[in-house]
Amino acid sequence: MTTGIEIVRPDPEAQALQLPIVWRYFIEAEGEQANLEALANSLAQDFLLSTYLLDSRIIAVKQRQGTDKPLMGEPASLPFCQHCQPQFGDNMHPHFGQLTLACDHCHGADAINALPALAAMQPADLIQFAQQLLNGNSVRLTDTVGTIELSRSPIAADDCAVLICNPNTLSQQFILENRQVLSLSSIEKPLLLLKPHADLKLAQALLPVGFAATRLQQVLCELLRVKGVNWIYISGAKRAVFANVLTADVQVKAQQVSLSNESCGVNVIEPLHDDVRFGDYVAHASGNRKKPVIETAISADTKVWDSTSVINAAECAALGLGAEYGTDKNYAVLYFSNQHDSKILTRDGKGNFSTFITLPRLPKTGAEIDAIMQQSEYAKVWGKFNETHADIYQRLLALDLTSVTQVASLEALWAVSAVIVGLQADSPRALAQAFVAAAMSNRAPNSPRIDFPLTKYAEGVESSFDWAQTLGTLVSFRVAGDEDEANLAFAVYDSLADYLANWIERLDVNTGIRCVYLAGDEFANPVLVKRLSLRLGKNFPMASSQRQDLDGALLATGALYLRQRRGK
C-alpha cells in the first residue's frame, strides 16, 4: 500500500476565484495502514504550526510524485520548540528559568549564548524583573531581538504591543476567532490586530497582540501568569503585524523577504535594476536572467538609488506583485495605503499601466470640511445634523486632520465618519481605528447604502470619488434617526466594496482582468477585505502577496522593475 502524506497549499484550479496558491510541499511514505497512521500522528506532533499554512491533508497516491534526492537546507534555528519550552517555561519544572537550556531540535540556546549578559541571567534575576513589573515599574532588557521594554502600562512607542502572559484567558480579554488563536501560536509568533472587550475600557480600539516570541519573554510571562497577570505591554520586539487577507496571513510590513523561482513556484520576472531603495527598504537582485533572486530588507544603506515616491508607490506595488506571481499583463491592483497615494491601477495585455482613480485627499481641518459641506447639495441636511447634534458638530470643527491628509488615503475619511457616527478618540488615526472596530461589532442583517460617486476634478487628472457626497449620505441617515454606530460604520465599508466591485467590472471590459490584487496597509482592515472578497471575489480571482508583505518590502521589490532612469 502506497500512501502520500501531503501538506499542501490548495490547487487554484480546484478553488476558482480564490487566492491563487502556487506552491506546496509533501512527504511520501509506503507501508501498512497502521504504520502510516503512526507516521501521520508523529508528523502532527513534530511539525510545528506555521501561520502560512493554509491546508494539510493525507491522500492515497498511485505512484510517487517526488524523488529520493535529499533536500538542501540549513539546521532549524528557533527560539524554542515543543521539546524545550515545557522545561524552561513551566514554573513547576526543575529547569524552569534556564534560558541557556540546550535543545537538539530547535537550537534555541545558541542565540542566547551569543549574548553573554543574557546568557548570564539566572532564575533569581528573572524573578526580580517580574517583581519590578508587578510593582508597576517598566523594565528594559537585552533580548535576542535587541533591547525590549516591558510595562503594565502603555509604552509611548510606535511598536508598542500587547504581550499575552496567560493564553487561557485570551478570549476573555480580546475578541478573536479560532484561526487567530492558531496564528498566534505558530512558529512565526505574529502580532495580530485584535479588538479588546469593552469592559477593559482601553483607549485603543484595536491593539497588536502576540504571544511570547523568545525564551526571556516566555519565562517572564510565566512568572507574571502565576501572579494573576493576563498581559503586559512590550516594545522593541521587532515583530511583524500580520493581517488575514483572503484567507491567508500576510505581514503588513516585513523585516525582510526573498523571491526566487523555487520559493514562488513560478518564473520570477527579470528585474530592470540591480539595487534600489523604496522607503526604509532596499531590494537587491542577483542570480541570472532565467533564475533571478531578489532579496529585500530594511536597510540604512544610503548609496543605493532611492526611488521613494508617494506617487509611484501604487505602481511599485503592482510591479512587486507581478514579479512574485510571474505575470506582467491583464491584472488590476487596489493599492490602498495610509503611507502613500492610494490608487486603483490596471495593466493591459501589453503590460501598460493605467490609473483608474486616485483616492481623494480631504482638507486638513474639520472647519474646512464644514465649509465645503455647507456649499454642497447636502447643505440643508448637514445644517440640520449640526443643529441636532451640536456636540458632534463642535468635535468636528475642532478636528485637525493634518497627520492623515499628507497622502491620498481613506484614513481621513474614516476619521471624519467616526466623528459623524458618534465615536470619540484622541487623534485622527485613533478615530479611524475606532471606526474599523465599530464595523467589526456590527450584528445587523442589513445596512444603509452610502454613496461613493465617481468624479473628475480637472481635465487630465485621474478620477476620484466625491467624499462630500459620501459624508452627505452618511449624515442623512443620522438625521433620519439612525444611531447604530456599528451598523453605519459597516455600511460605509460594505458600500465602498460594492462600488469597487462595479468599477472593476467596468474596467474588465477594456482590460481583460485575470486577477485582482490587494496591496497597501489599509487591507489590514478585516471588514473591508471581507466585504471585498464577497463582492468582488464572485467574478474575479483575488490575491495579495504571499511571499512579501502589504506595504513595505513589496514596494522596494517592485521598484526594481520601474522603467525609469536612476537619479544621481
- Sheet containing strand 57-60, edge to edge, reads 25-30, 2-7, 57-60
- The whole-number average pLDDT for the span 466-479 is 97
pLDDT(22) > 60:
no
The confidence score (pLDDT) of residue 11 equals 37
pLDDT at 14 over 50: no
Torsion, Cα 162 164 170 172, to 10 degrees, reads -60
pLDDT at 567 over 60: no
Cell of 35: 504504520
Q: What span, in angstroms and rounded, lies between the C-alpha atoms of 261 and 231?
A: 42
pLDDT at residue number 7: 38
If you write DSSP's letter for every residue of 210-254 in order, what string do you get? E---SHHHHHHHHHHHTTT--EEEEES----EEEEETTEEEESS-
Distances (CA, A) of 283 to 15, 250, 310: 33, 19, 18
Closest CA to 234 of 249, 224, 242, 226: 224
Distance of alpha carbon 235 from alpha carbon 143, whole angstroms:
12
User: What is d(CA 376, CA 373) in angstroms, rounded to the nearest whole number?
Assistant: 5
pLDDT at residue 357 greater than cutoff 70: yes
Instruction: State yes or no: pLDDT of 496 exceeds 80.
Output: yes
Kind and range of the H or E element at 434? Answer: helix 428-440
Helix ranges (H only) for 89-143 are: 109-113, 116-119, 123-134
Q: Which of 376, 394, 378 is nearest to 386 (CA)?
A: 394
Relative to beta strand 454-455, strand 464-465 is antiparallel
Helix (H, G, I), strand (E, B) or coil at 154: coil
Q: CA 45, 48, 54, 60 torsion: positive or negative?
A: negative
Sorting pLDDT into bands at 50, 70 and 90, what band is 20? very low
Give the strand pairing for 207-210 and 161-164.
Answer: parallel
Instruction: Convert the pLDDT of each residue in 105-139 to its tens digit.
Output: 999 999 999 999 999 999 999 999 999 999 999 99
> What DSSP character marks residue 447?
-
CB atoms under 10 Å from CB of 504, counted, come to 23
pLDDT digits (tens, 9 = 90+) for 380-426: 999 999 999 999 999 999 999 999 999 999 999 999 999 999 999 99
DSSP string over 445-491: S--------EE--STTS-BEE-HHHHHHHHHHHHHTT---HHHHHHH
DSSP assignments along 485-548, one per residue: HHHHHHHHHHHHHHHHHHHHHHHHHHH---EEEEESGGGG-HHHHHHHHHHTTTTS-EE--SSS
Strands 515-519 vs 331-335: parallel, antiparallel or unpaired: parallel
Res 247: pLDDT:
84
* Cell triple for 339: 503611507
Q: What predicted TM-score, i.e. pTM, was given to this entire model?
A: 0.91
Does the pLDDT at position 95 exceed 50?
Answer: yes
Over range 472-486, report the average pLDDT: 96
Backbone angles phi, psi at 244, to 5 degrees: -90, 110
- What is the amino acid identity at position 45? Q
Query: Using N-to-C axis directions, what is the helix angle for 390-397 and 411-421, rounded to 10°?
Result: 150
Q: In this predicted structure, what is the pLDDT of residue 24?
A: 63
Using the Cα atoms of residue 455, residue 336, residue 418 and residue 426 in order, give the sign of their dihedral. negative
pLDDT confidence tier of residue 264, bands split at 50, 70 and 90: confident
Of the candidates 390, 406, 408, 387, the residue with the CA atom closest to the CA atom of residue 398: 390
| Average pLDDT across the chain, whole number | 91
**Looking up cell 487577507, which residue turns up?**
245
> pLDDT-derived band of residue 37, with 50, 70 and 90 as boundaries?
confident
Query: 1 pLDDT exceeds 70?
Result: no
Are 395 and 424 in contact by the 8 Å Cβ rule? The answer is: yes
More confident residue, 65 or 409: 409
pLDDT of residue 15: 36
Of 64-78, 413-427, 462-476, 528-542, which range is least confident? 64-78
Per-residue pLDDT of 430-463, as tens digits, reads: 999 999 999 999 999 999 999 999 987 556 567 8
Mean pLDDT of 488-498: 98
Residue 14: count other Cβ atoms within 10 Å of its Cβ.
Answer: 8
**Model pLDDT, residue 12:** 36
